[in-house]
Amino acid sequence: MRRLLAFTFAVCLVASARPAAAPAAGAWAGVSLREPRATMSIKRALTGAVDWLARDECQQIFTEFHDQAGRPLTVRLAELHVTAADFLRLMLWRDGTYTSQCERGPLAFTTPGSRLVFVCSRKFADLTFGDWDLARAVVIHEALHSLGLGENPPSSLEITARVRARCGRATDKGHG
């Protein structure tokens, strides 16, 4: 019996030492949207963004952009002791459909430095369904703001275009 317990303990210890795999599309606890299609879309976008962020080239986006104090966003990630993919797991995604900001046109928005992102649910689901690279780019775009990137300059379109150019598939580069 002791050997079985020791073996079970050893297996559990080894299993817990493995790096965490990217969460399944349904595993994003920080997502709370009203519309099921938007919920599925944002979770799929988050999972895809984690895949993108596994590539060094994509992670470079966090050195290209700076916070409002002029520091690369990698400094903020280091202060938080997380990777960019881990930071996505810390973010909170809430429904912002009925806000005045969503009426003005964005797919999502946040305040620089805030982990809380509001998703314009219907618009996000409609415009990103089938264009998963755009959905992934929007997720990373909002992560950049959550880490402290301001806007104007650079413009929202420029941020998304640079994310797509750096992180998207080779066939998508240059399409913003």
Domains of the chain, residue spans: 30-172
- Chain centroid offset of residue 152 CA: 21
Query: What pLDDT shows up at residue 19?
Result: 38
Tokens 């046109």 correspond to 105
Task: Spell out the residues 6+ positions from residue 12 whose beta carbon is closer than 8 angstroms to its own.
Answer: none
pLDDT of the chain along its 176 residues, tens only? 444 333 333 333 333 333 344 444 447 999 999 999 999 999 999 999 999 999 999 999 999 999 999 999 999 999 999 999 999 999 999 999 999 999 998 999 999 999 999 999 999 999 998 899 999 999 999 999 999 999 999 999 999 999 999 999 743 333 33
**Model-level pTM greater than 0.85?**
no
Residue 31 backbone phi and psi in degrees, to 5: -95, 125
Q: Is 167 left (phi over 0), alpha (psi -120 to 50) or beta?
A: alpha
Give DSSP secondary structure letters for 117-165. EEE-HHHHHHHHTT-HHHHHHHHHHHHHHHTT---SSSPHHHHHHHHHH
| The predicted structure's pLDDT at residue 27 | 79
Q: Does domain 30-172 have CATH number 3.40.390?
A: yes
